[in-house]
Structure 1
Amino acid sequence: MELETYIVNAFADAPGRGNRAGVVVSPEHPPEDVMQIVAADIGASETAFVAPEERAWNIRWFSPLKEMSLCGHATLAASRVLFGKEPLIDSLVFRYAGGILPVQRYPDDSIGMDFPLDDYMRCPPVAAFDDFFGPLRVTDCICGRRTGKVIIVTDEGTDLRTIAPDFNRMVEYRGLCGSGIAVTKASSVYDFESRYFNPWAGVNEDPVTGSVHTVLARYWSERLEKKTLAAFQNSSRPGELLLTVGDDRVEIRGKARIVLQGTFFP
């Protein structure tokens, strides 16, 4: 078996920035155990596997440890690969277990992905957060109803880059935030900034994360009373996202760059 494989920096258009994703394109999906092995060997936070399906593309996402229900940055990476293979098209559709994800390419070569907007509920901060992050001023705490992702809101004066999580304590924890946890704040340059951690999926820090922005978009849209939001994920490999919020959908828009192309031999 030979698999056409790419490494793509998502939500960035330069080396060393954005979220590195694997993309595997094949006539049909390999067996699940093979996809998991490939994702573990590629070692990116997620690898997208895409295969053609009735004028669309079936997509599945795997972290190094398990299959994921939704992944924004790997979808963006897969879109960049497919638009490169078919330069005359400006739209495509992905099918996944939860429905469809329409994708649009814009004249500036950015790519917009139409994702379901996640609602949220407020949840009280738990004592384990202090174990994870040390002293952190928490002004709000929410949990995505669909994604299960926990988001801690802190004040604008917090420097997110100084947060140094204790990943050993995090991965041992079994409770509220087993689907991942973000820290976010309002920003003087963007509308908001964030960082996102998910050692429970084998990814200590995910540099730029589309799926958590399905929750962040609703929260900050309501708080700032804006439908278009500029977001910045302030990791060591930072990235920018443009969010357009509708009633139950959000367009997550960004750029991506292919940095490696080759063949994987599982």
Structure 2
Amino acid sequence: MKTYFVDSFTNQKFKGNPAAVCIVETDIDNQLMQNIATEIGFSETAFIKYISRNNYSIRFYTPKKEIPLCGHATLGASKILFETSSLETINFINCENVELRIEKVDGKIMMQFPVYETTDFTVPEPVFSALGIDKALDARYSPKNKIILIEISDPGTLAGLKPDFVALINSYKGINGVLVTARSNDTGFDFHYRYFWPWAGTNEDPVTGGVQTFLTKYWAQKLGKTKFKAFQSSSRTGTMITELVNDKVFIYGEAVITFEGEFLS
């Protein structure tokens, strides 16, 4: 099985978020996909299989479980298909039969993702304590993604967070992760964010596209605009452009292929 490693949401190797992309020629069972994702150990591994023309199925696995949607692994899979074929557009179908339309725009890869709503949320004190946060400017919850969103006032504080992940995973049950975000204080970006998800994946996702299904709309309502430059202030860092268009969010990013090989049966 042909396998690639791709650094997504960056134009530099060893930055952004590494994803594994496996090209599935014949159906393989769920446990094997999980074993491969666990063996690789990246925050996500994508398995893509040809259906017809420019249509492909796509499945996403963290080292712990299958998830329905992942931005950086979709970007990585798109990069591989664009580099190894003559395709100009791609239609991915995920495990929930959601169509993810992909195309090349001005040297970047543009992904169309759905938009999901958020609800009011009161953050329990143990979550704040585990994150190292004193208070929030706002807090929301994404029921579809099972993610808590916390806005704080300072991007510098955000970049310096060093969560206690043992305490964090014990601070709240039944969620996939906690997203912390802050308005940017420079002109290069509109907002910064970090994503912690020891419940479902790794401790911290280096650069996260899937959260834009609700984060872009959140900032659109806060800032009164629809197009943004976003910066993820993890140790690897990463950037993307996002745009809210009706019930879709367009995510623009770059990616770099770092490895090509084969899994042996």
With normalisation by structure 1, the TM-score equals 0.94
Q: 1:186 aligns with which of 174, 183, 186?
A: 183
Q: For each residue in 1:226-248, what CA deviation from the matched residue of structure 2 results, as whole angstroms up to 9, or x when unmatched?
A: 11111011101111111110121
Cα gap change, 1:157/1:182 in structure 2, threshold over 3 Å: closer, same or farther?
closer
Maintained 8 Å contact 1:136/1:154: no
- Mapped pair 1:94 → 2:68: no
Which residue of 1 is the match for residue 208 of structure 2? 209
Q: Share of identical aligned residues, percent?
A: 34
Distance 1:183 1:164 in 2: 12
2 CA distance for matches of 1:80 and 1:241?
15
Specify the alignment match of 2:45 in structure 1: 47
1:147 CA drift (Å):
1.2
1:137 to partner: Cα distance: 2.9
SS of equivalent to 1:70? coil
Tell me, yes or no, if the aligned pair for 2:127 and 2:172 is still in contact at 8 Å.
Answer: no
- Sort the Cα spacing of 1:129 and 1:173 in 2 relative to 1 into closer, same or farther, 3 A: closer
Task: Please give the residue correspondences for 1:193-232 in structure 2 after superposition, counting only pairs within 5 Å.
Answer: 193-232=192-231
- 5+ residue gaps, structure 1: none
- In structure 2, distance between residues paired with 1:216 and 1:32: 30
| Partner Cα separation in structure 2 for residue 130 and residue 231 of structure 1 | 23
Question: What is the CA–CA distance in structure 2 between the aligned matches of 1:172 and 1:139, rounded to whole Å?
Answer: 23
Number of the residue aligned with 1:69 = 68
Alignment partner of 1:143 out of 125, 141, 153 = 141
Match of 1:8 in 2: 6
For 2:61, the aligned partner's letter is F
The answer as to whether partners of 1:160 and 1:194 remain within 8 angstroms in 2 is yes
1:19 — aligned with what?
A: 17
Question: Unpaired segments of 5 or more residues in structure 2?
Answer: none
Deviating 4+ runs (over 3 angstroms): none
Aligned-pair RMSD on alpha carbons? 1.4
Secondary structure in 2 matching 1:76: helix
Match of 1:116 among 89, 111, 114: 114
Distance across 1 between alignment mates of 2:128 and 2:227: 33
1:168 to 155, 166, 169: 166
Deviation at 1:225, TM superposition (A): 0.7
Asked if structure 1 preserves the Cα contact closer than 8 Å seen for 2:131 and 2:168, the reply is: no
Equivalent residues of 1:28, 1:52 under 8 A apart = no
Residues paired across the two proteins, number:
261
Write the letter of the residue equivalent to 2:162. Answer: A
**CA–CA distance in structure 2, aligned partners of residues 174 and 100 of structure 1:** 32
Deviations 1:193-243 (A, max 9, x none): 000010012310000011111111000011101111110111011111111
Amino acid at match of 1:95: I
